[in-house]
Amino acid sequence: MGILKGAKDFARNPLGIIALFISLIYGFASLLLDSSAEKLTEAERWPLILFIVLFPIMVLVAFYKLVTKHHGKLYAPGDFQDDKSFLRTLSPEEQEVRLQKEVKESFGQVKGGQIFDSVDSTKPSKRNSDNQNEREKRQEEHRRFRQELEKIEASVIEHIAEEYGAKVERNIGIGGTDANFDAFFHSKEDRFTFIEVKVLRSAEPAMIMLDRILYNAVVADKFFDSRFKLILAVVYYFEESELERVERFWRRKLRNCPANIELRFIPRNDVEVV
Helix (H, G, I), strand (E, B) or coil at 209: coil
55 shares its domain with 139: no
- Chain-centroid distance of CA 163 in Å reads 26
101 shares its domain with 171: yes
Number of domain units in the chain: 2
Q: Do the Cβ atoms of 168 and 183 come closer than 8 Å?
A: yes
Structure confidence by residue, pLDDT tens digits, 74-124: 555 554 444 556 788 888 899 998 888 888 887 765 444 444 444 444 455
187 shares its domain with 262: yes
Question: Rounded to two decimals, what is the model's pTM?
Answer: 0.64
- Chain-centroid distance of CA 85 in Å reads 15
Helix (H, G, I), strand (E, B) or coil at 136: helix
Decide if pLDDT at 18 tops 60: yes
46 shares its domain with 151: no
Q: Please give the residue range of the domain that contains residue 59.
A: 2-79
Helix (H) or strand (E) holding 257: none
What is 54-105 written as a DSSP string? HHHHHHHHHHHHHHHHSGGGSS-GGGSSSGGGGEEEPPHHHHHHHHHHHHHH
CA neighbor of 234 nearest in space, from 113, 152, 144, 172: 152
Structure confidence by residue, pLDDT tens digits, 167-197: 899 999 987 788 999 999 887 677 899 999 9
87 shares its domain with 25: no
Given 79, 103, 136, the domain boundary residue is 79
Percent of the chain with pLDDT over 90: 24
